[in-house]
């Protein structure tokens, strides 16, 4: 009973924060001719309701793909269609073909914001609540604190309710997937995850851990018996759900290919704008995009991504456990973000989601990561005039994490999950005991740099020769942080399973 | 950042709560603000650019200065910060000026002055006896009280959306109550005198202060049976109290007395030309009275007892007319409301004199004064319910009976504030915040008093749950019906009548509990 009312209060608080953020500006507000993501979503509603399904992904007289052409998988299109029906009921002007381009009004903003809130309320928030309620071995209070922190994560709130996107849908489906496979509802879990991929192709960042975890489960059950049956069932579920989602586009080969071309625009370059990954940071020193030929860029990014993924994925396949699964989700998504081809700054949310899930295990590092992830989107948030809500939500999130997990007291080797790593290093260097101290210092340095950079970006004008100075600096700093986190997460994944085996031997 | 360190370092729950609500207030900056925003901007301009002699005469804007002098000085002080934000807002002729910097400054001035409120809440929490301290932090009366006060729904929407400065004023009141609880009577009296010269609406609760200080401070001892011991009267204490009140008043009104402007100041402070009810009826006795009048007149018209040509056309809730005549029942004059208010206050004052029960008795009397004047006052604003709701929070964590009255009063009182925010973007905010506060207050007080009898009987539960359908009807069903054009006032009418029932009930129940409570002295002896 008590748990219920606290959980309700937390959800209501999360919703209030979401709605108050949504009162702020959105991307491309009053900025013709291209506007921003807000207009993109509105335009998709216009396209999906006015054109037959066959023309959605094709360039045509009524569908100029240069102007926010649909480049997300079919589920996004269906969602747009659904919203468009509601919009048509309220005010047909909002989605009239051609004439509604760049439509902006208070009422329309309210409508668009409401669609995000409803999608969030239906998909993401219940998943978070359920996830926190299902956590084992912790008190009710901690579960509620956990839910509060996850729901207050500023990155997702600012992008969905400020900038304007529907990340909570894809992330929510992914979270349902995580919930499903972690609690042995493998079929439902994989169905939810297929929906996530079919809503946003970026969910592929999470696909390898899902694949490896499920494969590992099958191996564990024995490939000759139950495991094989499970494997077949899973394969059927995945294929069936994909077919269902793509059914209208399977009628012609050209349709399917065109959708795929739209989803994976390989000709768009190694990265876009300023994104805190390796390639963007590296090109500050060396313009890779201009020097190397296109296919080599793709090859390099593929190789790097693949190599950085490999160890943790193999580990997960050999020793599948829900905990290892969550950590592998983090490290894989982070590898993809850092090394893969055509990454957006918003893709960091795909890493943040699994990090939110491990808040309880490593509160200190997770809070730190989530702060950095929000900081890495600073240039984008500033462009959308979201400085005020960003600062407020970040501080609120930090306070929530700090008070509910008392993160600063949890920086011992044990609590950073670095015990086994340190022990194995100490075999060679007996004096290796300073790791937690270094990490605490690094945290301080990182936070101070972020605060200073934010202040500088906001108050100072960049020199005329380097108009992008501050955004490049933000990317650079965030990228360094992310690299550190990649190493950290790889270490704890690799050493965690060893630790588990050691414990078994002792037992 | 220092405050941040405090909050995070020691896991200090109070700072976390206060900081959390402060951040929420910052998020509310871009929300809708009412004409009160312009009122305060105008006052900033008046006090900044005109000499004192002009303050209460200036009438370029229709929002003339109608708060006591301390508030004018407060605006004067603010204006010296405001000039670094935007000089233009300090121009008297710049009507309805609201640049983004003006907005930021005004909003932040409310948020910043709320620190006084936070401090007052902190002091109030010290006065709560921790006997019922539960095992967990969240079940402690102190924790519940600080959430009830800091996260108070009414204050949040009235101050930080609608725009007013009730936060620091309520802070002054709570602080002076806390001082009386701490036996620092002189300080309490001083704070209240200052408060009176900030906003004269607090005159409503002045009788409670006067009688309490006279009875329990100037008389230093009681007879064993609790009645008054006349020879224990301390002239020194009376004189020092009088001196404090006199000095504060001299500081405030002195300059205007010297300028020979007192009548003008008072005519601004007490504008009896306004109507009985505000444009939107506050949920009090007069709302019920006027509703009854309306019903009677409709019945009269149907049954042909009344002549349609004699009925005034002005509809009271349309908000266009300030003056209003009742059709069937006798019209109400300011004097009548004054007498009603006095009669309503008197029993509680008698109770405070003849059955002194220490600071708690004083607090009950103060709430009764506030509620009675809300029930029967002239031109009462719905926001005035906060005057009773905030002190009532202090009582609610002490006794189960008080908790139940508090919940009814707060829920209906807060709901009656809904019409203040009528714009669509704020609709989710008010509903979410209201649900948040109501669910929290009901559940936490239920947990606190789980060993005693249930807080509500079936009738009260039914009434409170009825607020939900009422809201659904007013905001989601009514606008789509054909009555919207013909009877646009129906949602307001329904809201204020429905809430008036609850508030009258809470007032009545609190009165009964005060009058029937045995005196403290006797219970102690038993």
Q: How confident is the model at residue B515 (pLDDT cuts 50, 70, 90)?
A: confident
The B residues from 301 to 330 touching A (CB cutoff 8 Å) are: none
pLDDT score at A497: 55
Whether the CB of B24 is below 8 Å from some CB of chain A: the reply is: yes
Q: How confident is the model at residue B275 (pLDDT cuts 50, 70, 90)?
A: low
Whether the CB of A12 is below 8 Å from some CB of chain B: the reply is: yes
Chain B residues in contact with A398 (beta carbon < 8 A): 4, 8
Q: CB-CB: which of B9, B19, B447 is closest to A2?
A: B447
Taking an 8 Å cut-off on Cβ atoms, the answer to whether A393 and B8 are in contact is no
CA pair distance B356, B370, nearest whole angstrom: 19
pLDDT score at B319: 41
Chain B residues in contact with A396 (beta carbon < 8 A): 20, 23-24
Strand, coil or helix: B222: strand
The lowest-confidence range among A237-251, B162-176, B300-314 is: B300-314
Q: How confident is the model at residue A189 (pLDDT cuts 50, 70, 90)?
A: very high
Residues near A291 by beta carbon (within 8 Å), at least 6 away in sequence? none
Chain A residues in contact with B429 (beta carbon < 8 A): 16, 19-20
The pLDDT of residue B246 is above 90: yes
Whether the CB of A13 is below 8 Å from some CB of chain B: the reply is: yes
The pLDDT of residue B456 is above 80: yes
Of the candidates B487, B136, B454, the residue with the CA atom closest to the CA atom of residue B298: B487
Chain A residues in contact with B14 (beta carbon < 8 A): none
CA distance A370 to chain B (A): 17
Strand, coil or helix: B380: strand
Taking an 8 Å cut-off on Cβ atoms, the answer to whether B432 and A16 are in contact is yes
Give me the residue label for tokens 């959605």: A56
CA pair distance B204, B10, nearest whole angstrom: 41
Average pLDDT of span B90-113: 91
The pLDDT of residue A390 is above 80: yes
Among chain A residues, CA nearest to B14:
A403
Q: How confident is the model at residue B296 (pLDDT cuts 50, 70, 90)?
A: confident
- B99 located within any domain: no
- B438 located within any domain: yes
Q: How confident is the model at residue B227 (pLDDT cuts 50, 70, 90)?
A: confident
CA pair distance B283, B306, nearest whole angstrom: 28
Taking an 8 Å cut-off on Cβ atoms, the answer to whether A16 and B440 are in contact is no
Residue range A262-300, pLDDT digits in tens: 888 877 777 777 888 888 888 888 888 788 888 888 898
Q: How confident is the model at residue A444 (pLDDT cuts 50, 70, 90)?
A: very high
- B428 located within any domain: yes
pLDDT score at A282: 85
The ipTM estimated for the assembled molecules is: 0.92
- B143 located within any domain: no
Average pLDDT of span A199-210: 94
Q: How confident is the model at residue B1 (pLDDT cuts 50, 70, 90)?
A: very low
pLDDT score at B279: 62
CA distance B28 to chain A (A): 6
The pLDDT of residue A500 is above 70: no
Q: CB-CB: which of A8, A107, A399 is closest to B19?
A: A399
The A residues from 423 to 482 touching B (CB cutoff 8 Å) are: none
CA distance B215 to chain A (A): 44
The pLDDT of residue A499 is above 60: no
Taking an 8 Å cut-off on Cβ atoms, the answer to whether B429 and A16 are in contact is yes
Chain B residues in contact with A141 (beta carbon < 8 A): 136, 138
Report chain A's mean pLDDT, rounded to a whole number: 90
Of the candidates A383, A358, A379, the residue with the CA atom closest to the CA atom of residue A368: A358
Whether the CB of B4 is below 8 Å from some CB of chain A: the reply is: yes
Of the candidates A396, A389, A375, A391, the residue with the CA atom closest to the CA atom of residue A21: A389
| Alpha helices (runs of H) in B377-425, residue ranges in sequence order | 386-396, 400-415
Residue range B459-483, pLDDT digits in tens: 999 999 999 999 999 988 988 888 8
pLDDT score at A377: 93
Q: CB-CB: which of B8, B9, B433 is closest to A16?
A: B433
Average pLDDT of span B401-430: 93
8 Å CB contact between B226 and B520:
yes
Whether the CB of B6 is below 8 Å from some CB of chain A: the reply is: no
Chain A residues in contact with B440 (beta carbon < 8 A): 5, 9
Bond preceding residue A361 cis, omega within 30 of 0: no
Whether the CB of B221 is below 8 Å from some CB of chain A: the reply is: no
- B147 located within any domain: no
Average pLDDT of span A467-496: 92
DSSP characters over B115-126: HHHHHHHHHHHH
| Angle CA A501–A502–A504, to nearest 5 | 65
Q: How confident is the model at residue B322 (pLDDT cuts 50, 70, 90)?
A: very low
Q: CB-CB: which of A9, A20, A402 is closest to B27?
A: A20
8 Å CB contact between A124 and A147:
no
Which of B30, B421, B438 to probe the A interface (max A CBs under 10 A)? Answer: B30
- B388 located within any domain: yes
CA pair distance A390, A381, nearest whole angstrom: 8
Q: CB-CB: which of A21, A396, A408 is closest to B20?
A: A396
The lowest-confidence range among A391-405, B278-292, B490-504 is: B278-292
Average pLDDT of span A31-42: 91
How many domains would you assign to chain B? 1
Residue range A133-148, pLDDT digits in tens: 988 888 888 899 999 9
CA distance A120 to chain B (A): 15
Whether the CB of B271 is below 8 Å from some CB of chain A: the reply is: no
Q: CB-CB: which of B29, B436, B443 is closest to A16?
A: B436
Token pair for B245:
């009140």
Chain A residues in contact with B19 (beta carbon < 8 A): 395, 399
8 Å CB contact between B416 and B385:
yes
CA pair distance A300, A280, nearest whole angstrom: 14
The B residues from 408 to 427 touching A (CB cutoff 8 Å) are: 424-425
In terms of C-beta density within 10 A (0-12 exposed, 13-18 middle, 19 or more buried), how is residue B56 classed?
buried
Among chain B residues, CA nearest to A140:
B136
Whether the CB of A107 is below 8 Å from some CB of chain B: the reply is: yes
pTM, rounded to two decimals: 0.92
Q: How confident is the model at residue B9 (pLDDT cuts 50, 70, 90)?
A: very low
Q: How confident is the model at residue A235 (pLDDT cuts 50, 70, 90)?
A: very high
Taking an 8 Å cut-off on Cβ atoms, the answer to whether B428 and A13 are in contact is no
What percentage of residues in chain A have a pLDDT greater than 90? 65
Q: CB-CB: which of A388, A395, A408 is closest to B29?
A: A388
Average pLDDT of span A494-502: 61
- B322 located within any domain: yes
pLDDT score at B302: 81
CA distance A152 to chain B (A): 12
Residues near B188 by beta carbon (within 8 Å), at least 6 away in sequence? B176, B177, B178, B179, B180
Give me the residue label for tokens 């910052």: B26
Q: How confident is the model at residue B179 (pLDDT cuts 50, 70, 90)?
A: very high
The B residues from 424 to 443 touching A (CB cutoff 8 Å) are: 424-425, 428-429, 432-433, 435-436, 439-440, 443
Report chain B's mean pLDDT, rounded to a whole number: 86
Which residues span the domain enclosing B430?
Answer: 285-331+380-516
CA pair distance B34, B36, nearest whole angstrom: 5
Beta bridge mates, B380 = B277
Residue range B326-357, pLDDT digits in tens: 777 787 888 888 999 999 999 999 888 888 88
- B32 located within any domain: no
Which of B12, B14, B26 to probe the A interface (max A CBs under 10 A)? Answer: B26
Whether the CB of B19 is below 8 Å from some CB of chain A: the reply is: yes
Chain A residues in contact with B433 (beta carbon < 8 A): 16
Higher pLDDT, B452 or B160: B160
Taking an 8 Å cut-off on Cβ atoms, the answer to whether B23 and A395 are in contact is yes
Q: Provide φ and ψ at A165, rounded to 5°.
A: -155, 175
pLDDT score at A504: 43
The A residues from 119 to 158 touching B (CB cutoff 8 Å) are: 141
The pLDDT of residue A487 is above 90: yes
CA pair distance A172, A177, nearest whole angstrom: 9
8 Å CB contact between A161 and A22:
yes
8 Å CB contact between B463 and A50:
no
* Total beta-carbon pairs less than 8 A apart between chain A and chain B: 80
8 Å CB contact between A21 and B27:
yes
Taking an 8 Å cut-off on Cβ atoms, the answer to whether A9 and B13 are in contact is no
Among chain A residues, CA nearest to B433:
A16
Q: CB-CB: which of A2, A392, A403 is closest to B26?
A: A392
Among chain B residues, CA nearest to A24:
B30
What percentage of residues in chain B have a pLDDT greater than 70? 89
CA distance B8 to chain A (A): 5
């Amino acid at each position: 009973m008590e748990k219920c009312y606290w959980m309700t209060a937390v959800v209501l608080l999360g919703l209030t924060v979401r709605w108050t953020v949504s009162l702020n500006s959105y991307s491309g507000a009053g900025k013709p001719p291209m506007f921003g993501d807000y207009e993109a979503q509105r335009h998709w509603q216009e396209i999906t309701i006015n054109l037959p399904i066959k023309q959605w992904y094709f360039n045509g007289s009524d569908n100029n793909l240069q102007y926010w052409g649909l480049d997300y998988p079919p589920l996004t299109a269906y969602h747009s269609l659904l919203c468009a029906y509601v919009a048509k009921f309220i005010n047909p002007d909002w989605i009239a073909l051609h004439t509604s381009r760049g439509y902006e009004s208070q009422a329309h903003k309210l409508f668009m914001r409401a669609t995000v809130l409803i999608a969030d309320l239906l998909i993401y928030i219940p998943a978070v609540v359920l996830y926190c309620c299902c956590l084992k071995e912790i008190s009710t209070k901690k579960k509620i604190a956990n839910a509060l922190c996850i729901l207050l994560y500023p990155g997702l709130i600012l992008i969905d309710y400020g900038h304007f996107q529907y990340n909570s849908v894809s992330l929510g489906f992914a979270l349902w997937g995580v919930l499903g496979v972690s609690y042995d509802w493998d079929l439902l879990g994989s169905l939810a995850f297929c929906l996530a991929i079919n809503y946003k192709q970026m969910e592929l960042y999470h696909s390898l851990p899902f694949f490896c975890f499920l494969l590992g489960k099958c191996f564990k059950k024995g490939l000759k018996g139950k495991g094989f049956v499970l494997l077949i069932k899973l394969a059927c579920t995945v294929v069936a759900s994909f077919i269902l989602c793509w059914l209208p586009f399977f009628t012609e080969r050209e349709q399917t290919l065109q959708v795929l071309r739209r989803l994976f625009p390989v000709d768009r370059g190694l990265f876009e704008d300023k994104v805190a990954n390796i390639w963007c940071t590296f090109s500050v020193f060396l313009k890779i995009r201009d020097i190397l030929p296109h296919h080599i860029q793709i090859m390099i990014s593929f190789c790097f991504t693949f190599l950085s993924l490999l160890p943790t994925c193999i580990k997960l396949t050999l020793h599948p456990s829900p905990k290892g699964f969550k950590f592998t989700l983090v490290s894989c998504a982070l590898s993809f973000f850092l090394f893969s081809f055509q990454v957006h700054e918003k893709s960091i949310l795909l890493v943040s989601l699994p990090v939110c899930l491990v808040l309880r295990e490593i509160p200190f590092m997770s809070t730190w990561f989530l702060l950095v992830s929000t900081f890495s989107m600073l240039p984008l948030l500033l462009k959308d005039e979201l400085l005020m809500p960003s600062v407020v939500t970040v501080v609120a999130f930090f306070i929530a994490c700090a008070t509910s997990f008392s993160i600063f007291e949890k920086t011992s080797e044990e609590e950073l999950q670095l015990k086994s790593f340190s022990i194995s290093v100490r075999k060679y260097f007996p004096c290796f005991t300073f790791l937690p101290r270094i990490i605490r210092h690094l945290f301080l340095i990182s936070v101070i740099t972020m605060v200073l950079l934010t202040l500088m970006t906001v108050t100072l004008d960049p020199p005329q020769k380097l108009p992008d100075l501050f955004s490049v600096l933000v990317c650079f700093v965030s990228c360094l942080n992310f690299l550190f986190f990649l190493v950290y997460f790889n270490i704890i994944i690799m050493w965690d399973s060893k630790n588990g085996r050691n414990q078994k031997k002792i037992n | 950042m220092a405050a941040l360190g405090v909050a995070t370092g020691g896991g200090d729950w109070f700072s976390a709560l206060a900081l959390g609500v402060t951040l929420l207030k910052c998020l509310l900056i871009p929300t809708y603000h009412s004409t009160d925003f312009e009122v305060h901007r105008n006052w900033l301009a008046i006090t900044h650019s005109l000499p004192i002699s002009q303050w209460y005469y200036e009438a370029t804007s229709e929002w003339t200065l109608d708060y006591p002098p301390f508030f004018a000085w407060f605006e004067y002080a603010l204006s010296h910060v405001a000039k670094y934000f935007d000089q233009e807002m300090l121009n008297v002729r710049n009507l309805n000026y609201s640049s983004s910097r003006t907005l930021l400054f005004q909003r932040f001035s409310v948020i910043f002055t709320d620190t006084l409120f936070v401090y007052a809440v902190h002091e109030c929490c010290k006065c709560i006896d921790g006997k019922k301290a539960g095992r967990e932090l969240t079940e402690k009366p102190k924790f519940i009280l600080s959430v009830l006060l800091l996260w108070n729904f009414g204050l949040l929407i009235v101050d930080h959306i609608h725009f007013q400065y009730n936060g620091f004023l309520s802070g002054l009141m709570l602080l002076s109550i806390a001082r009386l609880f701490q036996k620092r009577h002189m300080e309490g009296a001083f704070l209240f005198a200052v408060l009176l010269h900030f906003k004269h609406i607090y005159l409503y609760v002045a009788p409670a202060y006067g009688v309490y200080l006279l009875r329990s401070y100037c008389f230093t001892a009681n007879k064993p049976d609790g009645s008054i011991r006349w020879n224990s009267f301390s002239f020194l204490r009376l004189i020092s109290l009088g001196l404090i009140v006199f000095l504060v008043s001299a500081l405030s009104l002195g300059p205007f007395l010297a300028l020979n402007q007192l009548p003008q100041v008072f005519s601004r402070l007490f504008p009896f030309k306004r109507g009985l009810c505000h444009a939107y009826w506050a949920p009090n006795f007069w709302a019920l009275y006027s509703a009854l009048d309306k019903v009677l007149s409709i019945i009269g018209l149907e049954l042909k007892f009344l002549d349609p040509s004699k009925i005034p056309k002005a509809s009271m809730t349309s908000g266009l007319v300030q003056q209003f005549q009742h059709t069937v029942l006798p019209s109400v004059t300011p004097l009548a409301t004054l007498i009603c208010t006095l009669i309503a206050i008197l029993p509680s004052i008698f109770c405070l004199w003849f059955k002194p029960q220490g600071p708690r008795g004083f607090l009950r009397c103060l709430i009764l004064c506030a509620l009675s004047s809300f029930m029967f006052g002239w031109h009462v604003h719905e926001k005035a319910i906060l005057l009773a709701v905030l002190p009532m929070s202090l009582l609610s964590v002490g006794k189960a009976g008080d908790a139940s009255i508090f919940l009814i009063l707060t829920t209906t009182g807060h709901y009656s504030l809904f019409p203040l925010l009528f714009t669509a973007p704020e609709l989710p905010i008010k509903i979410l915040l209201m649900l948040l506060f109501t669910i929290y207050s009901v559940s936490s007080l239920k947990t606190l008093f789980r060993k005693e009898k249930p807080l509500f009987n079936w009738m009260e539960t039914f009434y409170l749950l009825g607020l939900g359908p009422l809201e659904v009807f007013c905001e989601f069903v009514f606008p789509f019906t054909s009555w919207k054009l013909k009877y646009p006032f129906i949602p307001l009418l329904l809201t204020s009548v429905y809430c008036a029932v609850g508030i009258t009930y809470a007032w009545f129940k609190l009165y009964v509990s005060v009058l029937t409570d045995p005196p403290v002295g006797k219970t102690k002896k038993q």
